Amino acid sequence: MNALAIAEVNVRRLLRDRTSTFFIFVLPIVLIVVLGTVFGGRVAPRMGIVAVESGALGAELVDAIRNGAMKLELKEPATVAELTAGVEQGTLEIGVIIPPGYDATVRGGGVAEIVILGEPQGAVSALREAVSQAVAAQAAVVQAARLTASREGIPFDEALAMARSVQGEMAGVTVAVERIGEGMFPAGTGAFAPGAQSQLVLFMFLTSMTAATQLILTRQLGVSRRMLASPVRVRTILVGETLGRFGVAMLQGLFIVILSAIVFGVSWGDPLAAGTIVVLFALVGTGAAMVVGVFSNNPDQAGALGVMAGMLLGALGGAMVPLEIFPEPAHTLAYLTPQAWAIQGLREVALRGGTVIDVIQELGVLVLYAVGLLALGTWRFRRILTR
């Protein structure tokens, strides 16, 4: 009972501080919103096309690119200068200029030049295939029309119409596409889900880490000495301090889970499996905070060390950038962190309908981390307390 009282004081002390509540409740939600807006709505590379005064054939080419094989977000800046600026600043992955008078050049028998803008060449060479495809189809009918018009002495437009109908009737070469395997995230993953999972893991750990500072303050202010003087056993103080940190991390975890589910419709999957991961991860965070707390000399050091460890492990463990896009060896190294295991487990449960059985490996690793860190932390803490 005494342990619970110590824990309660701990939680209250943190919640009364308004800036702590910002970090615990507001910032994670802000990040989920921003990440969801920036990456969630983004489905395809952006192509900018300027086809000012390029005539009917130019407009036809733009339509062909829009409906081509490559999924693109098509933007149409008003001027070439605007297009160039977009490409240079990276807001457009590729720029395409269909010159003014394109239609007349093509109809008149000249060679029309389409300019492709973009750096670096690697990405642009891939995206320009969308333009090549549309150009090849148009060039085929134009060439047929030119040949026919010159041989038969009929107007170009008439020949072009004939060529189009011949091309339409021809069996030609078609391309079938088959997909195997799933994308980075399964189809139907909401815009906010991956961000919510990462932010939950990142912030629960960071919150736990700030507790390291409090641990030292408790010691420095003599609170723990006074507690020891009262008829409270060392073990009770230890359990109480640990429970307090754990309570704060859990409170934050629940807040993020519930708010993201209600406001952004994020699904967390099987409650038992997801809940177990969250609880175990809160324990890991608590353990890590105690370790930092007992090995630091002063609150400033513990604070800085805690935040840095939280950020670095978060980054390395895929809580800032999705693990799914890590190259090797970073991908393998990531699994040295508890964050990576927690995120992998949450994804499995939320996105692929996993149950406790499916994430048993992730749970096992988290148990090991929690037990190891808590044991190390409480062992040292007992020594410091009783010193």
Partner 1 sequence: MSAALVIAVKDLRQKLRDRSVLLMAVLAPLGLAFLFSTMIPNQETFHTTYAVVDLDGGEIAKGLVDGPLAGLATAGVADLTPLTTEADARAAVDAGDVSAAIVIPAGFTEAVRTGAPAQLLVIGGPSSLSAEVARSVLAGFGSQVTAVQVAVGTALAAAGEAPDPALAGELAAAALAAPAPIVLTAGETADRTASSKTYYGASMAVLFVFFAAQFGVLSLLAERRNGTLARMLAAPIAPATILLGKVLVSLVVASISMTVIVLATTFLMGADWGDPLAVAALVLAVALAASGIATLIVGFARTEEQAGSFIAVVALTLAVFGGSFFPMSQAPEGMAALSLVTPHAWFIRGINDLAAGGGIAVVAPSLAVLVAIGMVTGGIGLLRARQVVTP
76 near partner 1, judged by CB under 8 A:
no
Q: What is the dihedral of CA 324, 325, 330, 336, to 10 degrees?
A: -20
Q: What is the DSSP string of 205-221?
A: HHHHHHHHHHHHHHHHT
Q: How far is the CB of 26 from partner 1 (least distance, A)?
A: 8
130 near partner 1, judged by CB under 8 A:
yes
Reported in sequence order, the residue ranges of 212-349 that DSSP labels E, i.e. its strands, are none
- The Cα 240–Cα 288 span in angstroms is 16
177 near partner 1, judged by CB under 8 A:
yes
Chain residues 203-222 in contact with partner 1, contact rule CB under 8 A: none
Chain residues 84-123 in contact with partner 1, contact rule CB under 8 A: 84, 87-91, 95, 97, 106, 110-123
Structure tokens at 237: 């103080």
Q: Give the residue with the Cβ less far from partner 1, 194 or 240.
A: 194
Binding letters toward partner 1, positions 282-301, x by CB under 8 A: ------------------xx
Q: How far is the CB of 309 from partner 1 (least distance, A)?
A: 10
- The Cα 133–Cα 140 span in angstroms is 11
Q: Is 47 left (phi over 0), alpha (psi -120 to 50) or beta?
A: beta
Q: Which of 148, 197, 260, 286 binds partner 1 (CB under 8 A)?
A: 148
Q: Which of 3, 29, 54, 128 binds partner 1 (CB under 8 A)?
A: 128
Q: Give the residue with the Cβ less far from partner 1, 76 or 152.
A: 152
Chain residues 15-54 in contact with partner 1, contact rule CB under 8 A: 17, 19-20, 22-23, 27, 30-31, 34-35, 37-39, 41-42, 45
Q: Which of 5, 56, 147, 261 binds partner 1 (CB under 8 A)?
A: 147
Cis geometry, peptide bond prior to residue 329 (ω within 30 degrees of 0): yes
Letter for the amino acid at 64? A
Q: How many Å from the N-terminal Cα to the C-terminal Cα in the chain? A: 25
Structure tokens at 75: 């933007």
Selected range binding partner 1 among 141-149, 250-258, 268-276, 335-343, rule: CB under 8 A: 141-149
Residue 381's nearest CA partner among 216, 152, 194 is 216
139 near partner 1, judged by CB under 8 A:
yes
- The Cα 61–Cα 106 span in angstroms is 12
175 near partner 1, judged by CB under 8 A:
yes
Structure tokens at 106: 């093509």
Q: Give the residue with the Cβ less far from partner 1, 167 or 361.
A: 167
Q: What is the DSSP string of 321-366?
A: S-GGGPPTTHHHHHTTSHHHHHHHHHHHHHHS---TTTTHHHHHHH
Q: How far is the CB of 38 from partner 1 (least distance, A)?
A: 5
Chain residues 253-282 in contact with partner 1, contact rule CB under 8 A: none
Q: How far is the CB of 109 from partner 1 (least distance, A)?
A: 8
Q: Give the residue with the Cβ less far from partner 1, 186 or 364.
A: 186
188 near partner 1, judged by CB under 8 A:
no
Chain residues 302-331 in contact with partner 1, contact rule CB under 8 A: 303-305, 307-308, 311-312, 315-316, 320-321, 325-327, 330
182 near partner 1, judged by CB under 8 A:
yes
- The Cα 192–Cα 195 span in angstroms is 5
2 near partner 1, judged by CB under 8 A:
no
- For tokens 């640990």, the residue is 242
Do 213 and 357 contact (CB within 8 A), yes or no? no
Q: How far is the CB of 329 from partner 1 (least distance, A)?
A: 9
Q: How far is the CB of 351 from partner 1 (least distance, A)?
A: 14
Question: How far does CA 209 lie from the centroid of its chain?
Answer: 23
